Chains A and B, each alone.
Chain A
């Protein structure tokens, strides 16, 4: 354990230094020895003042560009903004191009904005372990808003909802017809649907289609439908109004969401540990399966019997 590094981070967190936030995030993201100390500190001292907003949707829908404009709007209203931008890591090399920040780079020299990029590092469901832990660290600082922009795979990003007050799903005309929207997941997670690139020729038709689709959802839980043109900023002030409004109405659900989240987190952390423990057995049994000596099902059963949880 690098005690100096950990202690410096802890000291800095107490003084609310941004530099320490940066360092502490690295420590938990890298699973460095001593990360428990940092996390324990963060968990004890976090506040629930910030409005948490999740933005998801397919790649190329304009999430980052929207976030850039949303930051601008919140700043105009004098609010401090923290941003967590998650991009995919390569499953082959582990490398990643964290490209979201390019769209929001002009906020780098604004002290009221803190942007941090994350690689997904093998996570499913849009946000990595590192991102989740980093959120606790963000909550140690006085942000009025925390935006989480997550992986836009399109179909498996439901996890984000338990971490935020408002979930925005950004789509674009031509991305898919009502069949895509009807697929499980998308509708259930969105508090607000945003059709970006609303200046495209088929935007109005897409809007009508979506509107009709959403009518099948009971009014109390029906997501809002909005349109934006992120590149010009059109529709962004209205979107921010809606974010604040919906956010305030969702505050009552915080306890319920937290309960779901905590369970989920314990489960996923435990899974990680179990995965590590069975890695060796998986290797050995894989060979037997490859030699047609047993089925993958049987192999899984053997591992299950062997993993002894007291």
Chain B
């Protein structure tokens, strides 16, 4: 009688005020039936990693429009590793170059969404990686 819910943490790190994307995805994920936690803006990568572990989330979804996705994701992954955690999956969305996209996939993210991606693509990516439907 397990009723497991997908738990997603939407994270914003560093000095980026652009919140619309994160807030939109928050609603989209909630309506997709996920439990969503939002970190709020201006967080540290270490704080995000620790919170994700405390909350036992399945996925960290990083949003950033300052062009720093590669740096942020690398730091979060390092922070997770430092805590000995390797089973939290990561995706990201926001402003990125072709090179960023390649780098992010190389780091092991399961989905990388550029600006203009349909919201459903993110939901589908999560469902696929979690093996739902």
Measured CB to CB, the residues of A under 8 A from B are: 18-19, 22-23, 25-26, 30-33, 89-90, 93-99, 101-103, 105-106, 108-109, 114-117, 119, 121, 276
Asked if B51 lies at the interface with its beta carbon under 8 angstroms from chain A, I say yes
- Whether A95 and B31, one on each chain, are in contact in the complex, defined by CB atoms closer than 8 angstroms, is yes
Give the CA-CA distance A105 to B34 in the complex, in Å: 20
- Whether B2 and A33, one on each chain, are in contact in the complex, defined by CB atoms closer than 8 angstroms, is yes
Chain B: interface residue total (CB-CB under 8 A) = 34
- Whether B34 and A19, one on each chain, are in contact in the complex, defined by CB atoms closer than 8 angstroms, is no
Asked if B16 lies at the interface with its beta carbon under 8 angstroms from chain A, I say no
Give the CA-CA distance A19 to B84 in the complex, in Å: 10
Give the CA-CA distance A108 to B30 in the complex, in Å: 23
Residues of B within 8 A of A114 (CB): 54
Closest chain A residue, CB of each to CB of B7: A26
Q: Which of B39-47, B65-73, B97-105, B111-119 contacts A (4 or more CB under 8 A)?
A: B39-47
New A-B contacts (10) at CB < 8 Å, excluding given A93-B32, A106-B47: A19-B85, A30-B3, A33-B2, A90-B30, A93-B30, A95-B30, A95-B36, A98-B35, A101-B51, A115-B54
Asked if B128 lies at the interface with its beta carbon under 8 angstroms from chain A, I say no
Give the CA-CA distance A114 to B53 in the complex, in Å: 10
15 examples of A-B residue contacts, CB within 8 angstroms: A19-B53, A22-B54, A33-B2, A93-B32, A95-B31, A95-B32, A96-B36, A99-B38, A101-B39, A103-B40, A108-B48, A109-B44, A115-B51, A116-B54, A117-B35
Closest chain B residue, CB of each to CB of A17: B84
Give the CA-CA distance A102 to B85 in the complex, in Å: 23
Q: Which of B2, B39, B44 has the most CB of A within 10 A?
A: B2
Residues of B within 8 A of A90 (CB): 30-31, 33
Partner of B40, one of A105, A115, A116, A121: A105
- Whether A95 and B37, one on each chain, are in contact in the complex, defined by CB atoms closer than 8 angstroms, is no
Main secondary structure of the interface of B (DSSP, over half): mixed
Asked if B50 lies at the interface with its beta carbon under 8 angstroms from chain A, I say yes
Residues of B within 8 A of A115 (CB): 51, 54-55
- Shortest Cβ gap from B89 to chain A (Å): 15
Give the CA-CA distance A103 to B32 in the complex, in Å: 24
- Shortest Cβ gap from B39 to chain A (Å): 6
- Whether A108 and B51, one on each chain, are in contact in the complex, defined by CB atoms closer than 8 angstroms, is yes
- Whether B37 and A108, one on each chain, are in contact in the complex, defined by CB atoms closer than 8 angstroms, is no
Within 8 A of A (CB), among B14-35: 26-27, 29-35
Residues of B within 8 A of A95 (CB): 29-36
Closest chain A residue, CB of each to CB of B28: A95
Closest chain A residue, CB of each to CB of B32: A95
Main secondary structure of the interface of A (DSSP, over half): mixed
- Whether B5 and A116, one on each chain, are in contact in the complex, defined by CB atoms closer than 8 angstroms, is no
Residues A97 and B3 in contact in the complex (CB < 8 Å), given A19-B85, A22-B53, A90-B30: no
Residues of B within 8 A of A119 (CB): 5, 35
Asked if B56 lies at the interface with its beta carbon under 8 angstroms from chain A, I say yes
Asked if B1 lies at the interface with its beta carbon under 8 angstroms from chain A, I say yes
Closest chain B residue, CB of each to CB of A26: B56
Closest chain A residue, CB of each to CB of B83: A19
Residues of B within 8 A of A102 (CB): 38-40
Residues A32 and B4 in contact in the complex (CB < 8 Å), given A95-B31, A119-B35: yes
- Shortest Cβ gap from B119 to chain A (Å): 14
- Whether B38 and A31, one on each chain, are in contact in the complex, defined by CB atoms closer than 8 angstroms, is no
- Whether B55 and A31, one on each chain, are in contact in the complex, defined by CB atoms closer than 8 angstroms, is no
Give the CA-CA distance A116 to B34 in the complex, in Å: 16
- Shortest Cβ gap from A10 to chain B (Å): 16
Q: Which of A31, A105, A276 has the most CB of B within 10 A?
A: A105
Partner of A109, one of B31, B40, B50, B55: B50
Residues A32 and B2 in contact in the complex (CB < 8 Å), given A101-B51, A108-B47, A114-B54: yes
- Whether A94 and B38, one on each chain, are in contact in the complex, defined by CB atoms closer than 8 angstroms, is no
